[in-house]
Structure 1
């Protein structure tokens, strides 16, 4: 099939890391290569493809650049080049999970931003004022995701009550595609999913958690299978890496967040999107990169299934992102 015109691409998919962009590309049903013609002021590189009936454009933050500001720049560039077509957005990648009694979040699971109370699904935890007694008061609010995506998430959640989800199949199919994908995206062994009590920090100067005693770990029930589970709720976004168990727990109590990441808050006001994060660590001092590939691919696989619940007509009924942002 010939590549569609640039104005056919209605869905923008943004990633922060190369491994996330590679995972996204693995989910394309058809690949159209790299976009050659774009706005002269646009420094992004775009991968074009099709998922089902949707034409999707994928962009990644520049190497070594993270956080809300970099995400905003990438989104604004995408809007500049795809100003006549872009209608909904996706922010897909990895994040730090926030396990608690109510949510049995494990490494490799997927967290999806979803409105809770007055929160549209994403909260910027590091924006606010310091008031009396040093208390931090958060200010402002972020936009909710596009209606077409919220409807699709709700439909997918309902379908999961009676039917098996398809994203585990997409995940395993991508992992088995080549020797290289097996090397970079396979699921680590279960013994490498260790959740430690927040009072136990990682041993100083230890290169891995091999020296961290088993008695430091939380006791958790064994799951029936290793398929990643979805969790819906608030994703906390900010410019700081959270890698301390007590801080994670304090922020969880304050925000109700299920996941921490560093880019979404830079998108929500000007790039309406759903945020989908594969859990690659527990946002504590024991974090490492062992689960990044699998978590990135799990998030991408969930996103592919989600797009199957989005009718093309619903996307076309959304305002152009550039028009929505000007209101």
Structure 2
């Protein structure tokens, strides 16, 4: 399989230039914005496209590199943050540039990977977050779905007090989430089928993006730290592993709730557990807080680690694919007419995937 020289995602997706409609696309015909933070997230996201379109001119000063395509009835523009750059400011800059070059984007997704905040072993499936699962931002009583946990006050005994609330994503996306949750109450998610499809059609992705195996999903007690200097947990004390009920299959479970965002990597089990208990955070990441007050988006994160000192990169490709598959599933569900109606609104809305 050929690979684009300028990137590391497959170039063998179908390109629409053999019909008039595809060749007549302009920047104004793209209404869904999709943002990733890492190249591996972009690889999974591009692979989920139903069709790939040729590139288009972009505004002077726009430093983004775009991939254009279609999912269902939606024309989608994808962008990734610059190599080696993460955080809320970089995400906001990428989204601002995207809106300049594609002025009719009103529907946004932030798709990628994040660190999970699992509860202690429980019979409640909502609390049973595992590696490879998907967490989707969802408003809570006192939050729009994303909490900037490095913006507030740290009080006595280390308790965090929130001093502001970020915006919610668009009403159309929130109703789409509700519809998809209801659908999943009757039928299984299509995430496993979407992942299987891209692995079947992209041979180069198979080894890296396949499920790592349930035996490699290990959750240590939050107060047990990884042994320094070791690249894996092979030498970590298994006495500190939490025993969880085995799952019947490798299918990702989708969780809805609060996502914690900050300009720092969460890599401390005790802090993760404290914020989970205090605020109900299900997942930690580093970009969404920079978007919500500028371009409110639906944040979709595949869980690649447990936000503690044991984190490594082995689950990142599969988790990125799971997040991208959920994004595809919700775009298939939301009618294109909803995007068209949003485009008439004076309030700009963006969908971001990371």
- Normalising by the smaller structure, the TM-score range is over 0.9
1:107/1:281 contact within 8 Å kept: yes
What is the TM-score normalised by the length of structure 1? Answer: 0.95
User: Per-residue deviation at 1:104?
Assistant: 0.4
Kindly tell me: are residues 118 and 130 of structure 1, through their superposed partners in 2, closer, same or farther at Cα, counting changes over 3 Å?
closer
In the alignment, structure 1 residue 6 sits paired with structure 2 residue 27: yes
Unaligned runs of 5+ in 1: none
- Measured against aligned partners, the alpha-carbon deviations of 1:255-286 in whole angstroms (never above 9, x if no partner) come to 21100000000011111210000000000000
| Residues 101-141 of structure 1: per-residue CA shift (max 9 Å, x gap) | 45100000000001111311111100023556775432111
State the partner residue of 2:337.
313
Measured against aligned partners, the alpha-carbon deviations of 1:47-82 in whole angstroms (never above 9, x if no partner) come to 000001000000000000000010011011111111
Residues 138 and 56 of structure 1, relative CA distance in 2, 3 Å threshold: same
Question: What is the CA–CA distance in structure 1 between the aligned matches of 2:37 and 2:55, rounded to whole Å?
Answer: 18
Note if contact 1:126-1:138 (Cα within 8 Å) is conserved in structure 2: no
- Measured after TM superposition, the shift of residue 313 of structure 1 is 1.0
Partners of 2:348 and 2:105 lie apart in 1 by 12
Q: Does 1:256 align with 2:280?
A: yes
Q: Tell me the secondary structure at the aligned position of residue 19 of structure 1.
A: helix
Are 1:154 and 2:185 counterparts? no
Please name the residue that 2:55 is paired with: 34
- 1:5 shift after superposition: 1.5
Q: Give the Cα–Cα distance (whole angstroms) in 2 for the partners of residues 131 and 191 of structure 1.
A: 40
Give, in angstroms, the shift of residue 34 of structure 1: 3.2
Equivalent position of 2:311 in the other structure: 287
Aligned mates of 1:131, 1:197 — CA distance in 2: 25
Q: Is the 8 A contact 2:191 2:252 kept in 1?
A: no
Contact 1:34 1:45 survives alignment (8 Å): no
- Displacement after TM superposition at 1:214 (Å): 2.1
Q: Encode CA deviations 1:205-248: one digit per residue, 9 max, x unaligned.
A: 21210111322110000111110010000000001101111111
Q: Higher mean Cα deviation, 232-241 or 175-184?
A: 175-184
* CA separation of 1:33 and 1:280: change in aligned 2, threshold 3 A: farther
Q: How far, CA to CA, are the matches of 2:78 and 2:233 in structure 1?
A: 35
Corresponding residue for residue 40 of structure 2:
19
How do 1:1-327 and structure 2 match up within 5 A?
A: 1=19, 2-3=22-23, 4-35=25-56, 37-83=57-103, 85-100=104-119, 101=122, 102=124, 103-130=127-154, 136-319=160-343, 323-324=346-347
Distance in 2 separating the partners of 1:175 and 1:115: 33
Cα distance in 2 between the residues matched to 1:148 and 1:186: 32
Q: Is contact 1:86-1:320 (8 Å) kept? A: no
Q: 1:250 to 1:130 in 2, by over 3 A?
A: closer
> Mind listing any 5+ residue stretches in structure 2 that lack a counterpart?
1-18, 350-354
Distance 1:178 1:69 in 2: 33
> Would the aligned equivalents of 1:93 and 1:296 in 2 still touch at CA under 8 Å?
yes
SS at match of 1:156: helix
After superposition, what is the alpha-carbon deviation per residue over 1:160-191, rounded to whole angstroms, capped at 9, x for unaligned?
11112212100111122232110221110222
1:31–1:49 contact (8 Å) kept in structure 2: yes
Over the aligned positions, Cα root-mean-square deviation in angstroms equals 1.6
SS at match of 1:280: strand
